[in-house]
């Protein structure tokens, strides 16, 4: 159904998993997608995407900038923001408004409206891609004469592994 079984069972990726494979997969998909769309995944854009994917918790722009500078790559904040905008535009990254942070999307091929479950203990985020929720919001908004331009639902709580640890 568009979601891999592993994602379904462990949406927070809290169980030990091969994260290097996650990153490789994300970068491969990004390359393929950009090529297909005739978009340029420059070295910097690719690097920024890789840094966003360093984990499954949303990452702030300044953390990305800091890592770029550590890697001796000179990048001014506007350059990083432009790279992030490109990645968002192509659905490779989502912006979590409430955290002012970015998270990689594991299914950028299809356009979708996301809902995020965000753990306030570890900062992990799980993306729900539930068309029914999105449709319900659109329907209620339309009933109120409201035009939705963009919707991202962000839900705070405690993830399964943090709950277990508590
Ligand atoms: Zn991973
Ligand atoms: Zn997504
Ligand atoms: Zn957690």
Q: Which of 128, 119, 125, 126 is nearest to 164 (CA)?
A: 119
Per-residue model confidence as pLDDT tens digits over 30-56? 999 999 999 999 999 999 999 999 988
Give 61-105 as a DSSP string: HHHHHHHHHHTT----HHHHHHHHHHHHHTTSEEEEGGGTEEEE-
The answer to whether 159 and 127 have CB atoms below 8 angstroms apart is: no
For residue 89, the tally of other CB atoms under 10 A from its CB is 10
Q: Is 0.75 topped by the overall pTM?
A: yes
Residue 15 has a pLDDT of 64
Domain range summary for the chain, segments of one domain joined by +: 16-108, 112-166
Region label for 152, one of left (φ > 0), alpha (ψ between -120 and 50) or beta (otherwise): beta
Report pLDDT digits (tens) over 78-107. Answer: 999 999 999 999 999 999 999 999 999 988
Ligand 3 mean position, distance from CA 98 (Å) = 17
- Cα 13 to ligand 3 centre (Å): 10
d(CA 99, CA 150): 17
Q: How far is the CA of 149 from the centre of ligand 3 (A)?
A: 30
Q: How far is the CA of 128 from the centre of ligand 1 (A)?
A: 16
Q: How far is the CA of 125 from the centre of ligand 3 (A)?
A: 8
Tell me, in angstroms, the distance from the centre of ligand 1 to residue 125's CA. 12
| Topology of the domain covering 16-108 | Arc Repressor Mutant, subunit A (1.10.10)
115 Cα: distance to centroid of ligand 3 (angstroms): 17
User: Do 16-108 and 112-166 fold alike per CATH?
Assistant: no
Give the model's pLDDT for residue 7: 47
State the CATH class of domain 112-166: alpha beta
């Amino acid at each position: 159904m568009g979601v891999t079984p592993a994602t379904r069972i462990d949406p927070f990726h809290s169980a030990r998993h091969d994260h290097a494979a996650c990153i490789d997969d994300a970068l491969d998909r990004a390359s393929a997608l950009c090529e297909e769309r005739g978009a340029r995944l420059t070295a910097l854009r690719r690097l920024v995407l890789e840094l966003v994917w360093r984990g499954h918790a949303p990452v702030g722009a300044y953390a990305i900038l800091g890592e770029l500078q550590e890697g001796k790559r000179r990048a001014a904040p506007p350059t990083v923001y432009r790279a992030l905008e490109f990645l968002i535009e192509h659905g490779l990254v989502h912006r979590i408004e409430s955290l002012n942070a970015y998270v990689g999307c594991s299914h950028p091929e299809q356009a979708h409206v996301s809902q995020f479950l965000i753990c306030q203990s570890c900062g992990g985020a799980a993306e729900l891609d539930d068309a029914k929720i999105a449709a319900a919001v659109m329907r209620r908004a339309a009933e109120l004469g409201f035009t939705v331009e963009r919707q991202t639902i962000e839900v705070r709580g405690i993830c399964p592994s943090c709950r277990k640890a508590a």
